[in-house]
Amino acid sequence: MGQYSSAGLSRLELVEEILSRKGMRPFIFQNLIGIEEVVDKKEVLEEVLATAVCSEMVIVEDSEASGHLLEVSTLADAKVRMAILRRERMGSTILMESLFKKYAAFMCPFEYNESNIDSVLDDIVSWFEAETEQTD
């Protein structure tokens, strides 16, 4: 989940490609549920929530503002764990920082740059695995 502009979508596709090479089956929310076709915001939230609850992990690419704050807070309210991935020294909005504080148990920020995104994604996978072990 993240910014679906050309630059944002390129970042999401890079994450998808790297995770695929690691043997995972990632998907971009927009491609799976056709967000651009849905007009009703409530319907989008329902689709995102239903999809996220069935997913092993949710990664939010948060380098730019994209209107995903509502989706992120909805998922956190439902106790869905999310890795918040940002390019170094970037971030969508200061409001995300307040969500980190409010939902610390369900959100973890990760910063990356061009040279370390692969290892940062390994860290994210490890974080999800550790969190899953704690709840089992």
> Residue 9's pLDDT band (boundaries 50, 70, 90)?
confident
Domain parsing of the chain, residue ranges: 6-135
Class of domain 6-135: alpha beta
pLDDT for 134 beyond 80: no
Over range 3-16, report the average pLDDT. 84
Percentage, residues of the chain above pLDDT 70: 88
d(CA 111, CA 35): 26
What local confidence, expressed as pLDDT, does residue 14 receive? 92
What local confidence, expressed as pLDDT, does residue 104 receive? 85
CB 18 within 8 A of CB 117: yes
Tens-place pLDDT, residues 74-126: 888 899 999 999 888 776 666 778 888 888 888 899 999 989 999 999 999 99
What local confidence, expressed as pLDDT, does residue 136 receive? 57
